[in-house]
Amino acid sequence: MSTAFDFTPLLPTGLPAPAIKWTGSPKYNFTGGNNDSDELPLDGLVAAADAVLKREGRTLATYGLASGPQGYRPLREFLVQKLKRDAGIACTADEILVTSGSLQALNLVNGVLLTRDDTVIIEQDCYQGSINRLTRRGVNMIGIPLDRDGMRMDALSAALDDLKRRGIRAKYIYTIPTVQNPTGSILPETRRAEMLKLAEAHGVPIFEDDCYADLVWNHQRPPALHAMSKSANVIHIGSFSKSIAPALRVGYIVAPWAMLSRMLAIKSDAGSGAVEQMMLAEYCAPHFAEHIPELTRGLRKKLNTLMEALNEQFGTAAEFEEPKGGIFLWVKLPDSVDTLQLYQPALAAGVAINPGPEWSVNKPHSRSRMRLCFASPTHDEIRKGIATLAEVCHREFGVPTRISNVKRG
Ligand SMILES: Cc1ncc(COP(=O)(O)O)c(C=O)c1O
């Protein structure tokens, strides 16, 4: 009998902790950035894949198709139109790099700009994937508090002044201005102008992550920071994960060629998945604009179900600001609740939540907060999942004390 080869002594130090094996989805899954499977435009995607592969499939024999290393040209051309129409961005297909999800975009931007002990400015409550990447690179994060209109400009101004006093130039201001993750706020145009002014005054670029920008309930978003900048100091990234499907792994970067060329030089995968890009371009050019209102209508209904369920099950023990779009609700529970401690017993009861401290650089502030994704569970799962969560929370922390105005037993 042979024994398994031991690779452990060969592993270099400093690797991240091993991944946990996937054991299936929890019954009530409020985690992650998953989409609503009912809203996936499956028939349209199937027809698009069929048409584009029949027409151009033989280009798959070449790395980068017939489009070169920046990604399938018709997809970049669709993005030029879409970004102009929706976000006011004027760019050319040559200023776009298609990536394997916007996670790769984060890696590439960080890869060309950051080194250990650098400083960046980010929103205090922020996307875990961004926080983790910065932590792993040994980068110092300055968290700026948010209010219902996104990043607070008084706090940003103070932080930039403080850094200046200390002789530190931040590498960038990272922001998710259009449906912030996790708070769901939208930075108004006036604040965008202020942010650009501060960024220019301090010589700090802006890193704009517009991951959720397609999912605004009233479809009226302010222009992108990239569109408003007069000095090309904004790197803009986006994704098809939230508008079409996360498993496709297609995102993009819009940046001046001087920066894009540095990123392309470290994008070492010889191109992102081609069939996904071809299918998206074929589907999106004629159908994207009509798909979005259908998707957001469905998401908005699920948000209503979640807010109703929280009001019924938690009453005043669950506080939240209604998000202006997206797929998340950022919920504040009473101070006595530690959501990191709530996580395990909730999971044991079949309910998965994202504990606040994993989505924030201010751990005391986020201790009693949690992020709930309402896109992928069904309406029924949302209701039952929140009822179960309230039971677990009551058992572990003594709150909520009432359900539908009746004292819990
Ligand atoms: C703010 C933000 N940026 C980037 C990403 C990465 O998304 P993807 O790689 O699927 O495009 C996410 C995913 O949830 C996100 O929330």
DSSP secondary structure, 41-109, as one string: -HHHHHHHHHHHHHHHGGGGGSTTTTT-TT--HHHHHHHHHHIIIII-----GGGEEEESHHHHHHHHH
Are the C-beta atoms of 228 and 196 separated by less than 8 Å? yes
Question: What is the per-residue pLDDT for 2?
Answer: 76
pLDDT for position 403: 75
| 241 C-beta closer than 6 A to ligand 1 | yes
Q: Determine the distance separating the centroid of ligand 1 and the alpha carbon of 5, expressed in angstroms.
A: 37
253 CB near ligand 1 (under 6 Å): no
As a whole number of angstroms, the distance between CA 226 and CA 70 comes to 20
> Rounded mean pLDDT of 120-139?
97
**pLDDT digit string (tens) for 3-17?**
899 999 999 998 888
Residue 355 · residue 370 · CB < 8 Å:
yes
pLDDT average, residue stretch 50-66: 96
From 99, 104, 127, the mutation candidate for ligand 1 (largest count of ligand atoms within 8 A of CB) is 127
Nearest atom of ligand 1 to the alpha carbon of 251: 11
pLDDT reported for residue 405: 66
Contacts 24+ apart (CB under 8 A), 14-18: 16/136
- Contacts of residue 235, defined as CB under 8 A and 6 or more positions apart, other chains included, come to 109, 172, 205, 206, 207, 208, 226, 253, 254, 255, 259
Q: Confirm if 245 and 376 have CB atoms less than 8 A apart.
A: no
Alpha-carbon gap, residue 324 to 383, rounded angstroms: 21
The C-alpha torsion from 354 through 360 and 365 to 368, rounded to 10°, is: 0
pLDDT, mean of residues 86-109: 98
How many angstroms is it from 177 CA to the middle of ligand 1?
13
- For residue 406, the model assigns a pLDDT of 73
Share above pLDDT 90 across residues of the chain, in percent, rounded to a whole number: 95
CB contact at 8 A, 256 and 232: yes
Mean pLDDT of 318-337: 98
CA distance 93 to 104: 19
Residue 125: which of 186, 206, 180 has the closest Cα? 180
Identify the residue whose tokens are 């299918």.
279
Which atom of ligand 1 sits closest to the CA of residue 241? 10
In this structure, are residues 264 and 252 in contact, taking their beta carbons and an 8 Å threshold?
no
Q: Is the CB of 119 under 6 A from ligand 1?
A: no
* Pocket of ligand 1 contains residue 32 by CB under 6 Å: no
DSSP 3-state helix, strand, coil percentages of the chain (rounded to 5)?
45, 15, 40
Per-residue pLDDT at 3: 87
The CA 31 to ligand 1 mean position distance, Å, reads 13
pLDDT of residue 401: 87
Is there an atom of ligand 1 within 6 Å of 175 CB?
A: no
Span 70-89, mean pLDDT? 98
SS3 127: coil
Q: What is the DSSP string of 156-188?
A: HHHHHHHHHHTT---S-EEE--BS-TTT--B--
- Answer yes or no: is pLDDT of 402 > 80: no
- Measured from the CB, is residue 129 less than 6 Å from ligand 1? yes
Residues 6+ away with beta carbon under 8 Å from 90: 84, 227
Ligand 1 touching residue 33 (CB < 6 A): yes
Q: Is the dihedral of CA 65, 68, 69, 73 positive or negative?
A: negative
| 101 CB within 6 A, ligand 1 | yes
CB of 176 closer than 6 angstroms to any ligand 1 atom: yes
Residue nearest to atom 14 of ligand 1 (CA): 33
The minimum-distance atom of ligand 1 relative to the CA of 239 is: 11
Arithmetic mean of pLDDT over the chain:
96
Query: Ligand 1 within 6 A of 251 CB?
Result: yes
Going by alpha carbons, the residue nearest to atom 3 of ligand 1 is 211
Q: Going by CA atoms, what residue is nearest to atom 7 of ligand 1?
A: 102
- Dist CA 370 CA 354 (whole Å): 6
- Beta carbon of 239 within 6 Å of any ligand 1 atom: yes
Which pLDDT band holds residue 1 (cuts at 50, 70, 90)? low
User: pLDDT tens, 214-247?
Assistant: 999 999 999 999 999 999 999 999 999 999 999 9
Sign of the four-CA dihedral 214, 215, 218, 222 = negative
| Smallest CA separation from ligand 1 atom 12, residue | 211
211 lines ligand 1 (CB under 6 A): yes
Q: Is the pLDDT of residue 372 over 70?
A: yes
Q: Which atom of ligand 1 is nearest to the CA of 106?
A: 4
DSSP 32: T
In whole angstroms, what is the distance from residue 395 CA to residue 409 CA?
11
Q: Above 70 in pLDDT, residue 409? A: no
